[in-house]
Amino acid sequence: MTPARRRRSPSLRTRVTAAAALVTVLIVLAIGTVAWVQVRDSAFRELDARVDTLSAAFQPSLSTSNTTTITSGVSDGALATARLGGIVVQSTNRQIPARGVGQGDTTIDGTPYRVRTTSAANSGLLNGLVTSSVAVPLQPTYDRVASQRRALLYIGLSAVAASALLAWLLGGLAIRPLRRLARQTETIPVDAGPDAPERAALEQVRGAREAEELAMAMQSLLRRVDTERARTQEALVTARDFASVSAHELRTPLTAMRTDLEVLESFAPDAAARAEIVADLRRSHARVQETLAALESLAQGDLGGRHRTPVDLADILDRVVTEARAHHRGVEIDLASPQSVPVYAVETGVRMAVGNAITNAVRHGEARRVRVGVEPRGDAVAIVVDDDGHGIPPADRERVFRRFERGTSRQSGSGLGLALIAQQARLHGGGAELSDSPWGGTRLTVVIGGPPAPSV
């Protein structure tokens, strides 16, 4: 079944444009609503002021009882009518219907008007209370309000369009560094190293702080990828070396075991010879087991060990020394350490390193006395193992830390003990070195570094 095509997300430029247009619409609506109401109120205030002016100007003074048609003083379609006791005494061609005193709207012959009616005493021939009304047509005011509101609408729409256009143009300029960064990222080869020109081009991205920060983050990511790739490559090389070297190292004892088995099968050795062959088989078997166990420990360290945690080094060393005393009977093994030594370490790794150091001193150095001590080294701690054995020549001290390298000992071994110690020292942020012991044998110093750096 063909997977559904994923819908493309709107671009950042489109999002910025839409956001700017939306904000402009909201602002225009807020301001336009106020202006919309203000236009109407302003127009009708002006209309009311005109009506008041005309009403004040039209105050007839009656000197006769004859009605008079008004032909001046009122213009632009305005109407005026004066009544005395209900009788029209003055009026325009079109009369205003009788109304109570006050202001209001009315329709005269189908035309809407704003009317103001006042009442005042007349001192002319016909004394009495004269009621005068002035009417101004509303349609011009309606037309004016509609025209101004259309102008507001056009201005608002133009503002929204201009805002969207400017946002589109400015958004294009703003995201140009991001587009350049995307194009440069696409051109980076999969196997590009740290010095590749495509990688260097990322550092040339300028124009926006966000783009520069993104370029720096990508560079950091690529550096971490390089580191992990190097670790993976190193692990693969280590695995290949293990496969080839371990096959070579195991071939000798396995060949010896096969020869012994063939002798047992083909000949009929006497009891003494049979016992010697069985003892040789056991030694070869023990050597194979020891080599495989050491290879497994090395592989675990090379291909990813456990994280270091806060532990008490004094407590770990005390247990290692106690176990060594039980295993190596007749050897004096001492511990010189404070009551508590807090460090960041992998407990199993420290125990394996110190245990191997004591075993090497006793088995290969033929030491009869071993001391394990602790020395501060700034933020680090050094584990010092002294023995009174026959020692290791200075010319061989660096070589024996390599895998499958053996010293001058008469005892056979896998050649991995000191390699394991050096590996654990590196995993703990320190190192290992051999020197002369004040007891005449060898001094092994294993440094454990300070707290591990926080993971990125």
373-399 tens-digit pLDDT: 999 888 889 999 999 998 888 888 888
Place of tokens 């005393």: 325
The distance in angstroms from the start CA to the end CA of the chain is 41
Residue 243: the pLDDT is 67
Tally of residues, the chain: 456
Q: Which residues contact 134 (CB under 8 A, 6 or more apart)?
A: 51, 54, 55, 58, 74, 78, 79, 80, 96, 115, 116
Those residues of the chain that have pLDDT short of 70 are 1-6, 59-76, 122-128, 186-208, 210-212, 238-239, 241-252, 287, 289-306, 403-416, 451-456
- Quote the pLDDT of residue 444: 92
**What CATH architecture is 306-456?**
2-Layer Sandwich (3.30)
Burial of 376 per CB tally in 10 Å (0-12, 13-18, 19+): exposed
**CB–CB of 58/74 below 8 Å?**
yes
Structure tokens given for 381:
């701690």
Q: Can you give the pLDDT at residue 405?
A: 65
Helical axes 417-427 vs 347-363, angle rounded to 10°: 150
State which amino acid sits at residue 443.
Answer: R
pLDDT digits (tens, 9 = 90+) for 190-214: 666 666 665 666 666 666 676 667 7
Instruction: Name every residue whose Cβ is closer than 8 Å to that of residue 233 and which is 6 or more positions away in sequence.
Output: none
For the chain, give every domain's residue range. Answer: 10-186, 188-304, 306-456
Q: Residue 192 phi/psi, 5° resolution? A: -70, 130
In one letter, which amino acid is 80?
Answer: A
pLDDT at position 189, please? 67
- Picking from 333, 314, 329, 331, the residue whose alpha carbon sits closest to that of residue 386 is 333
